[in-house]
């Protein structure tokens, strides 16, 4: 029995040694440290899809918004939120659903005055660290663009609460928007990952009646140089 127990333990350890290890890089990216090329063929697809599906690097990543953050970037600090006020070129890279896409626009952020810093949201009040608006590079006159480009401090197009920037509708259950989680900052701007929040709604392919996954990817907000 002791020999059998030792054999089982040895087999278990051997199997663990052959497993590829998932290593997370900048912005949650995933790479595989493979021990065996045969294991790579057998397991890489499953492990990458399960552990890193949301972190695969799109082939369309532009040069001005690479997957790696700037070399002078530091970890996001909530105490420096006011320093994020300013004008930015916002670049969104979507890695799901396929195919990968890149969208651009101009983002404005400012510190709200005391009247608009804490506002009612249902049965509670929420604090807004920064407010602003967003204008896509290729705007078209419709209701959605009117919402995200709103300069109204009561209903701004963009709101920053802690480490999350939201562009879209606020304090609603069935409203849409994009949530940008800030993971790195520098004097040049800020970086992180984003995902679409549809509330209680879903997006469906009308041809196949298949519910599509929420859009997600990474982003760069590059500060505009003052003239």
99 and 9: one domain?
no
The alpha carbon dihedral of 136, 139, 145, 150 has a sign of positive
Q: Report angle CA 53, 98, 133 to the nearest 5 degrees.
A: 95
91 vs 104: CA distance, rounded Å: 5
Residues 140 and 211 in one domain: yes
Percent of the chain topping pLDDT 70: 72
pLDDT band at 122 (very low <50, low <70, confident <90, very high): confident
Residue 63 confidence (pLDDT): 85
pLDDT at res. 166: 95
Q: What is the mean pLDDT of residues 105-128?
A: 87
Residue 58: per-residue pLDDT: 52
What pLDDT score was predicted for residue 66? 84
Q: What percentage of residues in the chain have a pLDDT greater than 90?
A: 38
Residues 142 and 41 in one domain: no
User: Which domain, by its residues, includes 86?
Assistant: 63-223
Same domain (yes/no): 120, 23:
no
Are 126 and 67 in a shared domain? yes
* pLDDT over 70 at 2, yes or no: no
Higher model confidence: residue 70 or residue 10?
Answer: 70
What does the pLDDT read at residue 64?
Answer: 87
* 101, 143: one domain: yes
Same domain (yes/no): 99, 82:
yes
pLDDT at 31 over 70: no
Q: How confident is the model at residue 139 (pLDDT cuts 50, 70, 90)?
A: confident
Verify that 90 and 185 share a domain, yes or no. Answer: yes
Domain count of the chain?
2
Q: What is the mean pLDDT of residues 126-141?
A: 88
Comparing 47 with 216, the larger pLDDT belongs to: 216
Q: What is the DSSP string of 40-77?
A: HHHHHHHHHHHHHGGGPPPTT--GGG-SSPPTT-EE--
Residues 67 and 165 in one domain: yes
Task: State residue 30's pLDDT score.
Answer: 36
46 and 153: one domain? no
Distance separating alpha carbons of residues 205 and 220, to the nearest angstrom: 29
Mean pLDDT of all residues in 32-42: 31
Q: What is the pLDDT of residue 54?
A: 43
Residue 14: pLDDT over 50: no
Burial level of 187, CB count in 10 A (0-12/13-18/19+)? Answer: exposed
Same domain, 42 and 81: no
pLDDT value, residue 43: 28
Q: With left for phi above 0 and alpha for psi between -120 and 50, is residue 6 left, alpha or beta?
A: alpha
**162 vs 28, more confident:** 162
- Same domain? 123 vs 32: no
**Listed residues 33, 55, 77: the one ending a domain:** 55
User: Reduced to 3 states, what is the DSSP secondary structure of residue 7?
Assistant: helix
pLDDT in tens, 144-184: 899 999 999 989 999 999 999 999 988 876 678 999 999 99
**Per-residue pLDDT tens for 52-100?**
444 445 567 788 898 888 889 999 988 888 899 999 999 999 988 878 8
């Amino acid at each position: 029995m002791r020999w059998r127990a030792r054999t089982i333990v040895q087999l278990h350890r051997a199997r663990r040694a052959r497993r590829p290890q998932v290593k997370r890089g900048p912005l949650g990216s995933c790479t595989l440290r493979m021990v065996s090329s045969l294991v790579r063929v057998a397991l890489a697809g499953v492990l990458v899809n399960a552990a890193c599906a949301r972190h695969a690097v799109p082939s369309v990543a532009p040069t001005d918004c690479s997957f790696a953050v700037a070399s002078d970037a530091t970890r996001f600090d909530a105490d420096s939120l006011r320093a994020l006020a300013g004008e930015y070129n916002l670049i969104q890279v979507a890695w799901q659903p396929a195919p990968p896409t890149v969208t651009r626009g101009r983002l404005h952020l400012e510190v709200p005055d005391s009247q608009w810093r804490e506002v009612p949201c249902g049965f509670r009040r929420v604090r807004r660290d920064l407010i602003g608006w967003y204008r896509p590079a290729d705007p078209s006159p419709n209701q959605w663009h009117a919402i995200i480009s709103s300069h109204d401090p009561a209903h701004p197009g963009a709101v920053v609460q802690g480490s999350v920037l939201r562009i879209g509708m606020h304090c609603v259950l069935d409203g849409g928007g994009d949530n940008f989680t800030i993971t790195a900052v520098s004097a040049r701007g800020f970086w992180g990952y984003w995902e679409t929040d549809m509330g209680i709604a879903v997006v469906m392919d009308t041809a196949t009646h298949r519910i599509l996954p929420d859009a997600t990817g990474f982003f760069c907000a590059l500060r505009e140089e003052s003239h």
